[in-house]
Structure 1
Amino acid sequence: MEIAISVKNISKSYRLYKAPPDKLKEILNPFGRKYHQEFRALNDVSFEIKKGESVGIVGRNGSGKSTLLKLICGVLQPTSGEVSVQGRVSALLELGAGFNQEYTGRQNVYMNGALRGLTKEQVDEKLESILDFADIGDFIDQSVKTYSSGMYVRLAFSCAVNVEPDILIVDEALSVGDIRFKHKCFRKIESFREAGKTVLMVTHDIGSVKSFCDNAIWINNGKIEQIGKADAVVRDYSSFMNYGLVSKGSVALKDTKAQRGNEVSLVQRGNEASFDADIPWEEVSHSSSFGDGGAIIKRVAFYGKDDFKKIAILEGGESVVFSLDIEVKEALDMPIVACRLDNKYGMHIFGVSNLTVGEELRPLNAGERVVVNIEFVFPKLGNGHYVIAAAIANGTNQAHVQQHFVHEAYIVQVINPSVAAKMGHCIVLEQTWISLMDSK
């Protein structure tokens, strides 16, 4: 397949000075003392993106993501290495980039089109679709400096996507839009994918990367940490970001227990072989995981509350139990045990923990082996496969350390005969009525 973007061994360095006079001293005496420190925003980065591919770039703030996009777009020149781009590029790099503050929105549309290589006649043909997509009304004839950040991004994105580019590059600019406009933008991005165009996006919304990208690139400290399928890269990046991070502050657990249908219970695991003989355990050693290691999830089970039968397929609406067999390595004074359901795109459907149901678990001692049972009614969902993740942490909801988080602890399939489920709806509503009446 033809290559749309090729990046070969690029690096980007900046000279950092402690004080402005230091730069002047170095210019006046180029062979004397060096006053700068070299900062490498990118260091020997290489990859290729094929035509028609959608790629997400993830990484912490300051990791080099935006610098990389600017190099691809030609806004910056690399210190070393080379970038090759095949096709017309339309980039939304920064809020209002390419807009003149004194011009009206309409004037900026024409100027932006000229910067993208379009003639006035070509912009005239696209003007109506640009204005319809931006949907900023009479403000189109007002000075851009009067625009809100949301209006800025509406017009900028509309200009970017309505010039028929071969490659669309978006750098986190959609974070300022309202929910309706974001939805419209993502539909547009999806139409780009279906048309076989190349999409490159930087975002902190890992759900968007999983949903809209075929592959992903994780950049860390100016280097490529990982490149591959979007779900695998996002999973490892999430583990990296969550591992060992503790929020500051402390919030006491609630003493009250709310009225609920979900329950979380902890059982001391004895030595008797019959203790858990009826539970259909599954080993989780094959699943990817991360954590501090203070407790280890050895096995999980997903079964019917009344019959203890293992569940592989269900419709929804059943009373179920998700059990975790946990080996405690270190004392945990405030244990949190949870499970989370994700769909095949990696989107979180729901999560249940002892904190969400107002249940305080007793402290766990090193050397213990316990079973935690999470009982709930499985919701009615659209047909498909779902992944259950299992976790144990220590602390509070706002401040905790993951001890062991297992990503694909269990896989279950929903087969619901309802029309809504067959159509792939995320949630199938119960007790819904539709009536028809004659209009008078």
Structure 2
Amino acid sequence: MSSDIAIKVSGLGKCYHLYDAPRHRLLQILFGKKRQFFREYWALSDVSFDVRKGETIGIIGRNGAGKSTLLQMLCGTLHPTAGTVQVNGRLAALLELGAGFNPEFTGRENVFLSGALHGLSNAQIQERFDDIAAFADIGGFIDQAVKTYSTGMFVRLAFAVQVHLDPDVFVIDEALAVGDQRFVQKCYRKLEELKSRGTSLLFVSHDTTAIKMLSDRAVWIHDGKLRKIGDASTVVDAYRNWADGISESIAAPAGTSLPIDKQADLAVNKVSLLTSEGRESSTFIHGESVTLSIDIQNRGLPVGIPIRLGFSARNNRGVEIFGSNTFDSQVVLETPEPGASMTLKADFRLPLLAAGVYTMSLNVDALNSEGNYEAEVMLVDFFSFHIDERVKVYTLIGVDVNFKVGQYA
């Protein structure tokens, strides 16, 4: 395995034997290989990918897709039926609640137990204990039996222990979903710190925005198979479209230029972002007034069919920063005569965005015969624009603030 690879997964698979009745399990023992009384269920099948050192991989997929099975095999707590896993360096993991802790031991005792299991000496653990206790922030409960902890307290201590083991690879399976908001934010800051130190991260989450913000790449597991792997924003968008029932034939690839030659009933032939003077531009100063102009052509729908249009702008991590749609704005749109076009203009003021390049995405839905809106056009990151700052912005979006200093007697 190459020295710049932290984890190498090759043809990984896990098969379970399912029995329809308890007696079949006994019969299988008696007959051995002569007869089969079980059905094979492959929870994971033929999954292969590499994780580079310092890289963050987000793993997504619906419940039961095989995500947790994959992480358990990566951590060595589950033996694969097929394939291999190679890990280069010390691995720390936060999997299902309860793993690695003795419920009869106190929090303090479990800290030392976990450290010892990861190869740390008593002196090394003692040196880090104050930092672990401060991060967990559970007060005097550190000296109470873990079995008395709430779920949130357990996660606090477990996460604090794992991140202070100086891991080369850190694996998390949805554990942060049960933490309170303040602690989750602290955890994300710690993960960013680990990333900056070159730690490889793998985490499962149903928070696709967090996947985009934290991950360099994403892995989509579907029905036990690797369905898609690549840039986090691209994979998350594909997963969201699938979850929303949007066909790949509707969603144009990112960066597609207009017009798009697709056999759709509606078409978006031109989109422009205009300055307040009505001039097309690709560079704007945050906070200025702009107009989004969209030309829509009716290729095959009857006249008067209700349609709705939405747009969003995303940063270079693929995170949606702002957007709107005609439905929530209570704007009524209907299809023109077949073959005719119409222009929709949306006037708004750009937020105080940080300087950089942003992309625009657009979707158009039409009301179908069943009374549901169905996607006709979906354009992802199909044009970009640059933002210059008039004031420095250190966050995703800034605000105009008028500070006033009061006089005190």
Under a length normalisation based on structure 1, what TM-score does the superposition of the two structures give?
0.82
1:314 alignment partner AA: F
2:385 alignment partner AA: V
Q: Indicate if the aligned counterparts of 2:259 and 2:270 stay in contact, CA closer than 8 A.
A: no
Task: Say if 1:212 and 1:437 are closer, same or farther in 2 by CA, change over 3 A.
Answer: farther
SS of the equivalent of 1:209 reads: helix
| Aligned position for 1:298 | 269
| Aligned position for 1:270 | none
The match for 2:53 among 51, 56, 70 is 51
| Aligned position for 1:158 | 160
C-alpha deviations, 1:135-183, integer Å up to 9, x for none? 1112222222222221111111111101111111111111111121111
Q: Indicate if the aligned counterparts of 1:285 and 1:298 stay in contact, CA closer than 8 A.
A: no
Aligned-CA RMSD value = 2.7
| Aligned position for 1:26 | 28
Offset of residue 33 of structure 1: 4.3
SS of the equivalent of 2:365 reads: strand
Task: Say if 1:431 and 1:126 are closer, same or farther in 2 by CA, change over 3 A.
Answer: closer
The match for 1:341 among 305, 313, 337 is 313
Offset of residue 110 of structure 1: 2.0
Offset of residue 190 of structure 1: 0.9
| Aligned position for 2:251 | none
Matched, 1:172 2:174: yes
Task: Say if 1:15 and 1:361 are closer, same or farther in 2 by CA, change over 3 A.
Answer: same
Task: Say if 1:437 and 1:185 are closer, same or farther in 2 by CA, change over 3 A.
Answer: farther
| Aligned position for 1:390 | 362
Q: Indicate if the aligned counterparts of 2:209 and 2:319 stay in contact, CA closer than 8 A.
A: yes
Alignment of 1:106-121 (within 5 A): 106-121=108-123
Q: Indicate if the aligned counterparts of 1:288 and 1:406 stay in contact, CA closer than 8 A.
A: no
| Aligned position for 1:377 | 349
SS of the equivalent of 1:30 reads: helix
| Aligned position for 1:240 | 242
C-alpha deviations, 1:362-417, integer Å up to 9, x for none? 36675553322222222222211111111112359x96432221111331111122
| Aligned position for 1:416 | 389
Matched, 1:40 2:42: yes
User: Separation in 2 of the partners of 1:116 and 1:362?
Assistant: 64
C-alpha deviations, 1:111-146, integer Å up to 9, x for none? 222222223332222111111010111222222222
Structure 1 range deviating more: 27-36 or 65-74? 27-36
| Aligned position for 1:286 | 257
1:126 alignment partner AA: R
Matched, 1:322 2:324: no
The match for 1:407 among 363, 371, 380 is 380
Q: Indicate if the aligned counterparts of 1:43 and 1:222 stay in contact, CA closer than 8 A.
A: yes
C-alpha deviations, 1:198-233, integer Å up to 9, x for none? 111122222222222222222222222222222332
**What stretches of structure 2 of length at least 5 have no aligned partner?**
248-254
Task: Say if 1:403 and 1:145 are closer, same or farther in 2 by CA, change over 3 A.
Answer: farther
Structure 1 range deviating more: 366-375 or 95-104? 366-375
Q: Indicate if the aligned counterparts of 1:210 and 1:231 stay in contact, CA closer than 8 A.
A: yes
SS of the equivalent of 2:27 reads: helix
1:34 alignment partner AA: Q
2:319 alignment partner AA: M
Structure 1 range deviating more: 331-340 or 401-410? 331-340
Offset of residue 321 of structure 1: 1.7
User: Separation in 2 of the partners of 1:367 and 1:26?
Assistant: 67
User: Separation in 1 of the partners of 2:264 and 2:143?
Assistant: 60
Alignment of 1:10-159 (within 5 A): 10-31=12-33, 33-159=35-161
Structure 1 range deviating more: 106-115 or 340-349? 106-115
Task: Say if 1:427 and 1:31 are closer, same or farther in 2 by CA, change over 3 A.
Answer: closer
User: Separation in 2 of the partners of 1:185 and 1:237?
Assistant: 25
Q: Indicate if the aligned counterparts of 1:288 and 1:407 stay in contact, CA closer than 8 A.
A: no
Offset of residue 315 of structure 1: 1.5
Structure 1 range deviating more: 36-45 or 386-395? 386-395
Structure 1 range deviating more: 382-391 or 84-93? 382-391
The match for 1:432 among 384, 402, 406 is 402
Under a length normalisation based on structure 2, what TM-score does the superposition of the two structures give?
0.88
| Aligned position for 1:358 | 330
Q: Indicate if the aligned counterparts of 2:286 and 2:390 stay in contact, CA closer than 8 A.
A: no
User: Separation in 2 of the partners of 1:208 and 1:89?
Assistant: 22
C-alpha deviations, 1:247-277, integer Å up to 9, x for none? xxxxxxxxxxxxxxxxxxxxxxxxxxxxxxx
SS of the equivalent of 1:29 reads: helix
User: Separation in 1 of the partners of 2:384 and 2:280?
Assistant: 12
SS of the equivalent of 2:32 reads: coil
Q: Between the two proteins, what is the percent identity of the paired residues?
A: 37
C-alpha deviations, 1:282-335, integer Å up to 9, x for none? xx743899x994533222111135x32112111133332212222334458442
Task: Say if 1:106 and 1:365 are closer, same or farther in 2 by CA, change over 3 A.
Answer: farther
User: Separation in 2 of the partners of 1:188 and 1:340?
Assistant: 30
User: Separation in 2 of the partners of 1:17 and 1:179?
Assistant: 43
Q: Indicate if the aligned counterparts of 1:53 and 1:214 stay in contact, CA closer than 8 A.
A: yes
Task: Say if 1:325 and 1:80 are closer, same or farther in 2 by CA, change over 3 A.
Answer: same
| Aligned position for 1:264 | none
Offset of residue 7 of structure 1: 1.2
